[in-house]
Chain A
Amino acid sequence: MGMEYLAPEFEVVRNRDRCTNCRICQQQCAHEVHRFDPKRGIMISDESKCVNCQRCVAFCPTRALKIVKSDCSFRPNANWRESAIREIYKQANSGGVLLSSMGNPNDLPVYWDRLLLNASQVTNPSIDPLREPMETKVFLGKKPQRITRDETGKLNCQLPPQIELSMPVMFSAMSYGSISYNAHASLARAASELGILYNTGEGGLHEDFYRYGPNTIVQVASGRFGVHEGYLNAGAAIEIKIGQGAKPGIGGHLPGAKIVGDVSRTRMIPEGSDAISPAPHHDIYSIEDLRQLVYSLKEATRYQKPVIVKVAAVHNIAAIASGIARSGADIIAIDGFRGGTGAAPTMIRDHVGIPIELALAAVDQRLREEGIRSDVSLVVGGSIRSAADVVKAVALGADACYIGTAALLALGCHLCRTCQSGKCSWGIATQRPELVSRLDPDTGSRRLVNLMTAWHHEIMEFMGGMGINSIEALRGNRLMLRGLGLTERELSVLGVAHAGE
């Protein structure tokens, strides 16, 4: 315990009858928890280093290990809960800002779980997706509601640039640097195979991945890392990242330790230098500046690529989205307060921003009231956990969803929420070669394809049950939703009726 005044958060429970001292746990643990004590001839643990990433548990051949939350507790106090006390000790010890990773873990309402879906009975037949076509294809981009014809009366069939998706899900932005080469390779290959898109994040695009361009969204963020003309033209769309659900209003910081080799080259910054993304884009201090960046990017890509503007869900999101819709953007991506991150100040992650369900409902409704919903597509993330969340998001008004955490889980992430350490035992959020090599892109991409294929089946089952055979007929179809245990005010923001109504 010593000067940190803190007992370890987790306990390593080792079944001595099962342990064979094979030392696999020692090899697998990137945090150096396990070691062999030659004097006693047994494996021992330094639990103060354990982050509960479950790597040792998964790899122990005799199932001798489990990691449990330590039941060593402070004197119970409903006000001074354990997390608050621990944070104070850590700060008193270090004098620093608390850092965390992944999404807000706190016990706040998850509206997805309070929304229930409809199904057809008697008056309307359900449709069996195994027998009848069930369409989940989505086009993202502007749909200008004005047709024109040539002098012979033939329709002019030119559409603004669109992204075509086989299902309404994309992998959200995670930069090369914050996650590994192999993680990026897995995402790119899976997106390609699935007919969906992944997103480079703000770390540039590794030269090996240009060939996945048609399934890539290239991101331009406030640090402008790795941005050049070839990069902008490499993808199917460009995303301007204004904000992120895990840390609205603040920038990013990738420590110099992670800026090595290819990461440095791809980001176009020197090895070992910290990659600082400023909080704002320094050329966007207002909405009219955003318009200039949107059109600069369109000029650079000859109006061939849709431009996405990604913002965090904050209090005034409906008005912000309306401003973005009028700024020339083709797609608005909104990231909820549970969205993940590779590193964020804990206080920001846990206390800034609003739930994506409410933000989505408010934005979709506002854009319709202003008659400009067709001018943009809406993509939502942070956090979409299952096919049911996707279906509910579409019914609330989303065109598609971004998934980040769910994709990382498929790659092996166990949500230990210590990405900021750079010691990811699963080879995802790390640049250490010996750890990166643990994630095999063949396996990774296959697991991602499996996950999306499973969701796809589930989405079709939901749709068939509702008697809907095309996803566009579900978009914004809020009659398919009912709230459960929500207040009048929550229902009114969500624009749904209560169950039983």
Chain B
Amino acid sequence: MKPEGQVRIPSGCAIAAVISREGRPISGGLMAEAMKPMHDRSNGLGGGFAGYGIYPEYKDFYALHLFFDQRATRKNCEVFLKERFEIIKSEIIPTRKIPAITGEPVIWRYFVAPLRSVLTSMQLDEKEFVARTVMYINACVDGAYVFSSGKNMGTFKAVGFPEDVAEFYRLEEYEGYSWTAHGRYPTNTPGWWGGAHPFTLLDYSVVHNGEISSYDANRRFIEMFGYKCTLQTDTEVITYIMDYLVRVQGLTLEEAASVIAAPFWSTIQRKTDLADREKHLYLRTLFSSLLITGPFSIVLGFTGGLMALNDRLKLRSMVVGEKEDRVYIASEEAAIRAVEPEAEHIWAPAGGEPVVIRVKDGAY
């Protein structure tokens, strides 16, 4: 049977997220609790978490999390990394042996800074350089896989149920101002560690529930711009699309949301605000190949905030609730109630309506 990456595996899922608008620390253990009531939305073939603000002591360095199939691969890959980066710190990501999680690869993290001389000779800005390096390793270095590459954030994922994955990675030992979580229900076995969510590039991370019908249209378009979809998963292509629209093209999150979950033409036509109509007509026409169809609910994590978004028909459930400085997002209200029984203003955002929550300036 072909491994993930050589074959496309659709999956259903559970997602959850939390953020403190004040930038106050939240334990990673909270997210594990939130995922428990949604146990049946996963099938034990993938779970994962992304935390923001978890590496304050290394916040100026890219935190690369890597899976290696064996020790020799790590040695080779480190040689490659050293040619391009100053490695400030490298270590095994601490884990806990538990019966529910088996067959783990070699899991390492590196805090790195790109070598100035390399950046100058390649005429690239730092982020583009890091993004290209990640693409290269994932596509070309056999047995090595970068699953997290942002600053002051990190992804933790595995094959297993999400609550077990949290225990495995000792997530309760991390604190961050925002977290996203994912439980996977792939329709094919075996799930692969790299195929679990969140999927990340630089500091963008995506957790996603759904199976998009536009996948190959999106993939073939985004691959024109240097991205390589090595996993053939929806989440991977959505992450690259957001990176392309926001980082490369310079769209705002709201503008990017109106590209991937564009309003219907008839809705655009009905808009009475002419400038708004013109903007939507423009964005939809220009980036028509990045429209995502089919069911999805996603939470995009980025430095200083989260964005939740549903497909334009709202074919997947997703609710938002708040309590004091915290905002919660989940596939089911039960997940929010599990960690905040007093949550208020529970509401279901409309299809295609982005919900952007930002930590106040200076608090992250």
The interface of chain A, by Cβ under 8 A from chain B, is 120, 122-125, 127, 132-133, 135, 137, 139, 143-147, 149, 154-155, 157, 159, 162, 368, 371, 373-374, 466-470, 472-480
Contact in complex: A476, B285 (CB < 8 Å)? no
Given A123-B211, A157-B281, the answer on whether A147 and B251 have CB atoms closer than 8 Å is yes
Contact in complex: B8, A143 (CB < 8 Å)? no
What residues of B have a CB within 8 angstroms of the CB of A123 in the complex?
Answer: 10-12, 187, 211
- Residue B344 is within 8 A (CB to CB) of chain A in the complex: no
What residues of A have a CB within 8 angstroms of the CB of B102 in the complex?
Answer: none
Q: Across the A-B interface, give the 5 residue pairs with the lowest CB-CB distance, nearest first.
A: A473-B214, A479-B216, A467-B213, A157-B282, A477-B217
Contact in complex: A473, B282 (CB < 8 Å)? no
Q: Mind listing 9 A-B residue pairs with CB under 8 Å?
A: A124-B210, A135-B264, A143-B287, A144-B286, A374-B289, A467-B294, A468-B214, A468-B293, A476-B217
Name the interface residues of B238-277: CB closer than 8 Å to any CB of A. 249-251, 255, 262, 264-266, 275
What secondary structure prevails in chain A residues at the interface with B? loop
Contact in complex: A368, B213 (CB < 8 Å)? no
- Residue B89 is within 8 A (CB to CB) of chain A in the complex: no
Contact in complex: A473, B266 (CB < 8 Å)? no
| Residue of B with least CB distance to A133 | B264
What residues of A have a CB within 8 angstroms of the CB of B313 in the complex?
Answer: 127, 132, 469
Given A133-B264, A155-B282, the answer on whether A147 and B293 have CB atoms closer than 8 Å is no
Given A137-B265, A157-B282, A159-B282, the answer on whether A468 and B294 have CB atoms closer than 8 Å is yes
Question: Which among B29-37, B191-199, B220-228, B297-305 touches the partner chain?
Answer: B220-228
Contact with A along B284-319 (1 / 0, CB 8 A): 011111011111000000000000000011010000
Contact in complex: A133, B266 (CB < 8 Å)? yes
- Residue B215 is within 8 A (CB to CB) of chain A in the complex: yes
Contact in complex: A159, B286 (CB < 8 Å)? yes
Contact in complex: B12, A371 (CB < 8 Å)? no
- Residue B116 is within 8 A (CB to CB) of chain A in the complex: no
Give the distance in Å from the alpha carbon of A478 to the alpha carbon of B232 in the complex. 13
Contact in complex: A477, B211 (CB < 8 Å)? no
Complex partner residue of B286 from A143, A373, A467, CB under 8 angstroms: A143
Least CB distance from A322 to B in Å reads 13
Complex partner residue of B224 from A368, A466, A473, CB under 8 angstroms: A368
- Residue B128 is within 8 A (CB to CB) of chain A in the complex: no
Given A125-B295, A139-B285, A473-B293, the answer on whether A145 and B249 have CB atoms closer than 8 Å is yes
| Residue of B with least CB distance to A149 | B250
Contact in complex: B216, A480 (CB < 8 Å)? yes
Least CB distance from A462 to B in Å reads 12
Other than the given A123-B187, A157-B279, A474-B214, 11 more pairs (CB < 8 A) read A120-B213, A123-B11, A123-B211, A124-B10, A124-B294, A137-B265, A143-B287, A147-B249, A147-B286, A472-B291, A479-B8
| Residue of A with least CB distance to B294 | A467
